[in-house]
Amino acid sequence: MKDPRYHKLMVRITHPGYSKLGAVNDLLAITTDHPDRKRIDVRAHIHVVPRIRSKTRVISLGFVQASLPRAPTTARIESPVAGIEFKITKVDVVARPGATIGPAGPGFTATFGKDKRGWWVAVKYDGKSRGEGLLEALLQIHTDDALQPLVTVPVRATVRARR
């Protein structure tokens, strides 16, 4: 540059690999040898996302009738980060922590597969007899990814008596 007091540099800032998901705000302090600007503060923001996720945050089956199975609800499982390849190895439906599960079980069954659009998981109400009310469970999607071997998605439905 014509004026030697001004310098232009390209600074590359990379993500260090946080294990906690969500927003991170921080102040980056860049130190220099410039006599007038020994330190430059830059406000930085990043949103850390999971390596693998369900496109549907909560799988809601809506109203279901007791003792009557219904068609499954499908959720796509993807990686929002380019270049991450994974396989689904198993899916389970388990009780939500703190929920009381009766003899009929958690209330849902799940299957998985892959098509030309990618991985999918289908969840359906098991149709077993149970009382009316909100039915909640957790869908556990097991993957072959060493950094994220488990993806958990809440599942819910409202059971109504057959009419």
Query: Is this structure's pTM higher than 0.75?
Result: no
Residue reference for tokens 């909100």: 134
Q: Is 97 among the domain residues?
A: yes
Q: Is 82 among the domain residues?
A: yes
In which band, very low, low, confident or very high, does the pLDDT at 3 lie, cut at 50, 70 and 90? low
What mean pLDDT do residues 122-151 have? 90
Q: Is 132 among the domain residues?
A: yes
Cβ neighbours for 152, distance < 8 A, ≥ 6 positions apart:
138, 139, 140, 141
State the amino acid at position 80 in one-letter form. Answer: P
Q: How many residues does the chain have?
A: 163
For the stretch 76-132, pLDDT in tens is: 999 988 888 999 999 999 988 877 666 677 889 999 999 999 999 999 998 887 778
Range of the domain at 83: 53-160
CATH assignment at residue 101: 2.60.40.60
pLDDT for residue 76:
96
The larger pLDDT score, comparing residue 53 to residue 68, is at 53
pLDDT for residue 101:
67
Q: Is 86 among the domain residues?
A: yes
Distance from C-alpha of 57 to C-alpha of 62, rounded to nearest angstrom: 15
Whether the pLDDT of residue 139 is over 60: the answer is yes
Going from the C-alpha of 138 to that of each of 2, 10, 49, 99, 152, the distances in angstroms are: 63, 46, 20, 11, 6
Q: Is 40 among the domain residues?
A: no
Whether the pLDDT of residue 1 is over 60: the answer is no
Domain total in the chain = 1
Q: Is 9 among the domain residues?
A: no
